[in-house]
Structure 1
Amino acid sequence: MGISTAAKLGGFAVVAVAVFGGAYGIGTAVGPVGTTPPAASSASSASSASSGVHEPGGLRASERGYTLAVNTTGFVEGQPRQLEFRITGPDGAAVTAFDPNHDRRMHLIMARRDLSGYQHLHPALGADGVWRVPAAFADAGEYRLFADFVPRALKQNLTLGAGISVSGDPRPVPLPPPSDIAHVDESGYAVRLSGHPVVGEAKLVLSVSRGGTPVTDLQRYLGAYGHLVALREGDLGYLHVHPEPSAVAGPDITFSAAFPSAGRYRLYLDFQHGGVVRTAEFTVTVGDTGPQPPAPSKAGDGHGHGH
């Protein structure tokens, strides 16, 4: 059914919930290419606080004593090279003990400041504590790297962020308008997004089809039938969620997320079919608030039970 992503509700049961939010101004000094990052309004901040959401991941290079240190510089658009980075711990030494998180010890997400150029990589950890992965950037510009991991000593997921520059001729890409359908390259795959993104918890269902036929034999990728990342326009606050456990391999993949503030976000769904991992991308507009309870009727019984 064709529903507007920004305007219609879909109610769905979920298990896994990842929350990000809080002060929108954190990290906004480095906004997308060619734009001025929006500032948080007091209303949005109050809404975030009342929704119980927390600060987005990836806005800082250091958190809870852990730091993301990128060793590689000098990237040029279109030229592959090895990307190296370390995670240092509270003692300043490189961390080498990590717990698996969604089947991997490290997820490296990369996107340009205008939310184009998304990549999801899985580096290898060397005995020297350096993570290494081949990387290439098709377009010049400023990029944000997100290291998503669980230090064994902390037993808690962290997402740290750092910026890198890619030299060349930067050509900003306008953020596509919101849509509830994403077509995946020339492969014939399409993904429909149903849900009502609002400040606070939102239920999202992504339905995969190919050539108009629902896909019912999705393959597990990172332990699930889909993997979802969301980035907030402006400061690139990071949300990483996985769907509820499901024995049904599509077409629907259900997520729950807590958006921290009104505004525009870019969603990236990774899914695997036919042995190939593909990515569907969406722009969503998050409304100010969720559904509100009805106001008490003046003709009620005096206890707020008006109808």
Structure 2
Amino acid sequence: MNAPAKLGVYALCLAGAFGLAAGAGRIVGPIGEDEAAPAAAHAEEESGMDGHGDTAAEGEAGGHAEESGGEHLPGGLMVSDRGYTFALTADTLPAGPDRPVSFTIEGPDGPVTEYDVEHEQELHLIAVRRDLTGYQHVHPVRAADGTWSAPLDLTSGDWKLFADFSTGGEALTLGTDLSVPGDYQPAALPAPSTTAEVDGYTVTLDGHLDAGVESKLTLSVSRDGVPVTDLDPYLGAYGHLVALRDGDLAYLHVHPEGEPGDGVTPPGPDVSFFATAASAADYRLFFDFEHDGVVRTAEFTVTAEEAHS
């Protein structure tokens, strides 16, 4: 066979081979396609996503985010909550006595100018250094434009201010930071104790804090060993109690048992409160009481433990 004839036969063979391969490809299909589809379907079935894995995951994450919102945090840990913001005029002030502090509570429509009266006041301002010293409970004066002002005795260090108020039936405790420049050595937290001395008065603490459940705390006031049975009414009760968690200074919700004039609550020596500790931790208690026209503060360190059923 001559050369041209050989080339022609070779070309025909190649064409036939390619045709068979193409036909086989159409019959069999791309390798692995039929195996991959069942595998993918099986994976979806196993995971329970039914082809909507991203949507399901996003929905679950969104629900979790709502559950872990600020509404479940203890008071005082946020500067803004439910549309209200604690706004200091200046967040740095020099050390010294009677330093003027001013601020507004910014609401959805600007500075708030209408408040509910709680414990005989529109707003309670609590100031404490971050090492839980220097505690002050004052009642600032509000101007017509909503600006609050009050003098504070400030020492060098980092301070935490709490605004405790209610407006439109919405009770809030907002917290913000105030810096006071200068030499600062944080004080160690005093050891837990059930007795405090202040200006010749002895205050004893009975009861303990349990994390996550309401606990009853009773403080008993005496002077020179004699129970004080004529405490003055103070802020609608015979005492006021603030509890702050060591570390982040979470502000506990505390309310008194009974009130002056209810016919069942005596003016001392015992003053009882109900408090719920947010977690097992050390807390500093500040008990304000008034006697002979003077307000004094007894301070305690207590340790909240996990509640046992």
Q: What TM-score results when the alignment is normalised by the length of structure 2?
A: 0.73
In the alignment, what sits opposite 1:151?
Answer: 167
Task: Please give the per-residue CA displacement for 1:160-194, whole angstroms capped at 9, x wherever unaligned.
Answer: 0100001121121110000010111xx21010000
- Would the aligned equivalents of 1:60 and 1:160 in 2 still touch at CA under 8 Å? yes
Residues 27-69 of structure 1 deviation map (CA, whole Å, 9 limit, x = unaligned): xxxxxxxxxxxxxxxxxxxxxx9xxx94210100111101110
Query: Deviation at 1:245?
Result: 1.3
| Pair 1:208 & 2:225 matched | no
Letter in 1 for 2:162: F
Amino acid at match of 1:147: A
Q: CA RMSD in A?
A: 1.5
Which residue number in structure 2 is paired with residue 125 of structure 1? 142
Q: Could you list the runs of 4 or more consecutive aligned residues of structure 1 that deviate by over 4 angstroms after TM superposition? A: none
Q: Is the 8 A contact 2:255 2:275 kept in 1?
A: no
How far the C-alpha of 1:228 sits from its partner, in A, is: 0.3
Residue in structure 1 matching 2:277, options 220, 239, 259? 259
Instruction: Report if the CA contact (8 A) 2:76-2:251 is conserved.
Output: yes
Correspondence 1:93-108 to 2 at 5 A: 93-108=110-125
Q: How does 1:234-253 map to 2 (within 5 A)?
A: 234-246=247-259, 247-253=265-271
Structure 1 residue corresponding to 2:231, chosen from 210, 215, 218: 218
Q: CA deviation at 1:203?
A: 1.0
Report which structure shows greater RCO (CA 8 Å, sep ≥6): 1
Q: 1:257–1:54: structure 2 CA closer, same or farther, 3 Å change rule?
A: farther
Higher helix share: 2
In the alignment, structure 1 residue 162 sits paired with structure 2 residue 179: no
Q: Secondary structure at the match of 1:101?
A: coil
1:196 to 197, 202, 208: 208
Deviation at 1:75, TM superposition (A): 1.7
CA drift of 1:81 comes to 2.4
**Cα shift readout 1:1-31 (whole Å, capped 9, x = no counterpart):** xxxxxxxxxxxxxxxxxxxxxxxxxxxxxxx
Contact 1:224-1:242 within 8 A present in 2 as well: no
One of 147, 153, 158 as aligned partner of 1:142: 158
Does the 8 Å CA contact 1:68/1:162 hold for their aligned counterparts? yes
8 A Cα contact 2:115 2:167, kept in partner: yes
Change (3 A) 1:176 1:287: same
Alignment of 1:1-307 (within 5 A): 54-91=72-109, 93-137=110-154, 139-152=155-168, 155-184=169-198, 187-199=199-211, 200-246=213-259, 247-290=265-308, 292=309
CA distance in 2, matches of 1:54, 1:212: 43
Larger mean CA deviation between 239-248 and 173-182 belongs to 239-248
Determine helix, strand or coil for the equivalent of 1:76.
Answer: coil
Could you tell me how far apart the structure 2 residues matched to 1:113 and 1:197 are? 22
**What is the number of equivalent residue pairs in this alignment?**
234
Contact 1:122 1:133 in 2 (8 A): yes
Residues in 2 aligned to 1:192 and 1:220: alpha-carbon distance in whole angstroms: 19
- Per-residue Cα deviation, 1:239-268 (whole angstroms, up to 9, x for no partner): 242311143000000111111110100000
In the alignment, is the contact (CA less than 8 A) between 1:198 and 1:288 conserved in 2? yes
Q: Which runs of 5+ in 2 are unaligned?
A: 1-66, 260-264
Query: What SS is found at the alignment partner of 1:287?
Result: strand
**Residues 105-130 of structure 1: CA deviation (Å, up to 9, x unaligned):** 01000111111111001001101110
Preserved CA contact (<8 Å) 1:82 1:135: yes
Q: CA deviation at 1:80?
A: 2.9
How far is the alpha carbon of 1:198 from its aligned partner? Answer: 1.2
Stretches of structure 1 lacking an aligned partner (at least 5 in a row) = 1-48, 293-307
Per-residue CA deviation, residues 141-162 of structure 1 (Å, 9 max, x unaligned), is 101000000112xx12100010
Secondary structure at the residue paired with 1:98?
A: coil
Give the TM-score normalised by the residue count of structure 1. Answer: 0.74
Q: Alpha-carbon deviations, 1:84-112, whole Å to 9, x = none? A: 00001123x10100010100001000111
